[in-house]
């Protein structure tokens, strides 16, 4: 038996590429450039009230005109903001991504002999500050702190009302997305605070980064939530968001929306190997529609110490610590990550179907779940015996796979059948009634 786990980060990228993205903050620009995120991924580390959030955005646009306004459920200080490493978020994405598994049928003529099983799994995947202050104060907004972190200029604002913040942004030539003001107002009344991150071009070229690194914030709050209401403001239609929760006890779920498991662990036709991204995207579209656009989907729930099959190796203790899992490695064996449970949630949202922010809870559920799709290759070697029975079985199995694929993706079953190499000389088994009326 040969197991091959195939996944590349490209899958997630392809899945994401069609939809305009944004994340829990919103973008402001100085020009009328369109600001869209290509991929929004949020890592949420939570232990009691302690939270570390990492926001990775694949921002596409002119960096010079770019600033992002991010709400935080509590007041924060300078030391609580950090710039993270994008590679770690990509690693976490790869580790938790849906996976394709391959099996090869043994020679049907040697059905009673067992092969030595070799198992090769695990494909590794791999400011003129004073002026700013002055203008800010006159607008009823206080810049509590302003400093540079990595390639970002960070401003922590303590606006008492949104008009102050809004005017300040306007004064600095930032264009606010429509509808931002009432949401900012509502958040401020709920004691949430904002910070603004702008790219410091000088620092960026000094550091040599071609892309924006993820921003990280560590805070303590009784709210286990992700503000998504501002995320819809830059939006053209629906937003796509991945949340990776890293906790101690167990699986994380939403308390104000349904959390639904993606269909998993079924056989798919061989051609899905070439079309894994379109397959997964079609299935996701189909599931979203089936749950009336109102569900959050579980794509992975697993103890971080292992995986089976592995789409990528589990994250190292060091990587986990950089994401904010401060307890990683405490009492662990041999440097292995211990006591970390990862939950991957995938949500496609708009303000109509997701009017409220996402509220989470950590459950005691430690049952493993993964998106796992199986390809069983029929035996293609030279037959040294009569294999008609085996071929009939293969034909039946392929037909089942076609039906299943059609039902989860909404694809036309006839199109699917055309792509399946049914064994020669076998005919599809038609239901008996089809022969009566043709």
Partner 1 sequence: MNTITNTFSRLRDPRYYQITVLGMLLTYGIFGLDFGIRWQNAVTIFATAQLVQYLGTRLAGLPKFDPLSAVITSLSLTLLLRTDLFVLAAVAATLAIGSKFLLRYNDKHIFNPANFALVTLMLLSDSAWVSSGQWGNATLVAFGLACLGSIVLTRAKRAETTIAFILVYGALVFGRALYLDDPLSIPLHQVQNGALLIFAFFMISDPRTTPNTPLGRTLFATLVAVIAFTIQFIYYQPNGPILALIMACPAVPLIDALLRGSNYRWDQPAGAKPGPFKGVY
Name the residues that contact partner 1, by CB under 8 A. Answer: 182, 185-186, 189-190, 222-225, 249-250, 253-261, 291-292, 294-295, 351-352, 355-356, 359, 361, 363-367
Is the Cβ of residue 224 or residue 242 nearer to partner 1 in the bound state? 224
Is the Cβ of residue 13 or residue 256 nearer to partner 1 in the bound state? 256
Question: Residue 154: is it exposed, middle or buried by C-beta count within 10 angstroms (0-12/13-18/19+)?
Answer: buried
Query: Residue 417 CB: number of other CB atoms within 10 A?
Result: 16
Q: Are 264 and 372 in contact (CB under 8 A)?
A: yes
Is the Cβ of residue 152 or residue 257 nearer to partner 1 in the bound state? 257
216 three-class SS: strand
* Strand residues in 178-238 grouped as ranges (E): 193-199, 215-220, 225-226
Three-class DSSP labels, 235-293 = CCCCEEEEEEEEECCCCEEECCCEEEECCCCEEECHHHHCCHHHHHHHHHHHHHHHCCC
Give the CA dihedral 108, 111, 116, 121, nearest 10 degrees.
50
User: Minimum distance from CB of 79 to partner 1 (Å)?
Assistant: 24
CA 11, 227, 54, 36 torsion-angle sign = positive
User: Minimum distance from CB of 363 to partner 1 (Å)?
Assistant: 4
Is the Cβ of residue 151 or residue 357 nearer to partner 1 in the bound state? 357
Is the Cβ of residue 143 or residue 408 nearer to partner 1 in the bound state? 408
User: Minimum distance from CB of 262 to partner 1 (Å)?
Assistant: 12
User: Minimum distance from CB of 78 to partner 1 (Å)?
Assistant: 25
Is the Cβ of residue 1 or residue 359 nearer to partner 1 in the bound state? 359
DSSP 160: S
Is the Cβ of residue 38 or residue 365 nearer to partner 1 in the bound state? 365
User: Minimum distance from CB of 257 to partner 1 (Å)?
Assistant: 6
Can you tell me the distance from the alpha carbon of 317 to that of 214, in angstroms, rounded to the nearest whole number?
19
Report the DSSP pairing between strands 341-349 and 99-104: unpaired
User: Minimum distance from CB of 162 to partner 1 (Å)?
Assistant: 10
User: Minimum distance from CB of 213 to partner 1 (Å)?
Assistant: 30
- Nearest 5°: phi and psi at 135? -65, -35
User: Minimum distance from CB of 199 to partner 1 (Å)?
Assistant: 32
Q: Are 330 and 59 in contact (CB under 8 A)?
A: no
Is the Cβ of residue 257 or residue 390 nearer to partner 1 in the bound state? 257
User: Minimum distance from CB of 186 to partner 1 (Å)?
Assistant: 4
User: Minimum distance from CB of 360 to partner 1 (Å)?
Assistant: 8
Q: Are 273 and 375 in contact (CB under 8 A)?
A: yes
Question: Which residues in 121-136 are b (16+ Cβ under 10 Å) and which e?
Answer: ebbebeeeeeebeebb
Which residues, in sequence order, are CB contacts of 278 under 8 Å at separation 6+?
14
Is the Cβ of residue 92 or residue 183 nearer to partner 1 in the bound state? 183
Report the DSSP pairing between strands 258-261 and 295-303: parallel
Is the Cβ of residue 89 or residue 184 nearer to partner 1 in the bound state? 184
């Amino acid at each position: 038996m040969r197991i091959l786990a195939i996944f590349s980060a490209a899958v997630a990228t392809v899945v994401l590429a069609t939809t305009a993205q944004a994340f829990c903050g919103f973008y402001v620009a100085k020009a009328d450039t369109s600001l869209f995120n290509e991929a929004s991924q949020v890592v949420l580390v939570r232990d009691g009230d302690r939270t570390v959030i990492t926001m990775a955005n694949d921002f596409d646009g002119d960096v010079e005109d770019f600033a992002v306004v991010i709400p935080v459920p509590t007041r924060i200080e300078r030391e609580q903001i950090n710039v993270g490493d994008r590679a770690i978020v990509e690693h976490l994405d790869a580790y938790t991504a849906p996976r394709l598994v391959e099996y090869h049928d043994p020679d049907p003529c040697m059905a009673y002999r067992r092969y030595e099983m070799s198992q090769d799994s695990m494909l590794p995947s791999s400011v003129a500050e004073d002026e700013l202050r002055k203008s800010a104060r006159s607008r009823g907004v206080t810049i509590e702190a302003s400093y540079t972190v990595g390639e970002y200029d960070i401003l922590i604002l303590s606006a008492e009302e949104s008009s102050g913040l809004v005017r300040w942004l306007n004064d600095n030539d930032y264009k606010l997305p429509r509808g931002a003001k009432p949401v900012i107002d509502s958040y401020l009344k709920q004691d949430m605070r904002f910070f603004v991150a702008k790219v410091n071009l000088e620092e960026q070229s000094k550091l040599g980064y071609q892309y924006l690194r993820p921003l990280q914030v560590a805070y303590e709050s009784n709210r286990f939530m992700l503000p998504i209401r501002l995320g819809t403001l830059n939006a053209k239609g629906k937003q796509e968001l991945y949340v990776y929760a890293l906790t101690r006890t167990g699986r994380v779920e939403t308390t104000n929306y349904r959390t639904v498991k993606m269909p998993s662990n079924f056989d798919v036709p061989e051609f899905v190997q070439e079309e894994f991204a379109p397959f997964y995207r079609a299935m996701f579209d189909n599931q979203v529609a089936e749950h009336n656009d109102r569900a959050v989907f579980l794509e992975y729930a697993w103890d971080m110490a292992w995986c089976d099959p592995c789409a990528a190796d589990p994250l190292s203790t060091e990587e986990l610590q950089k994401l904010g899992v401060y307890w990683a490695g405490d009492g662990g064996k041999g440097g292995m990550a211990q006591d970390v449970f990862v939950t991957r949630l995938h949500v496609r949202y708009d303000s109509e179907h997701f009017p409220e922010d996402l509220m989470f809870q950590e459950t005691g559920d430690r049952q493993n779940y993964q998106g796992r799709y199986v390809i069983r290759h029929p035996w293609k070697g030279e037959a040294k015996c009569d294999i008609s029975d085996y071929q009939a079985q293969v034909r039946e199995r392929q037909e089942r796979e076609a039906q299943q694929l059609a039902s989860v993706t909404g694809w036309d079953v006839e199109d699917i059948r055309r792509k399946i190499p049914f064994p020669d000389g076998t005919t599809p088994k038609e239901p008996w009634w089809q022969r009566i009326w043709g």
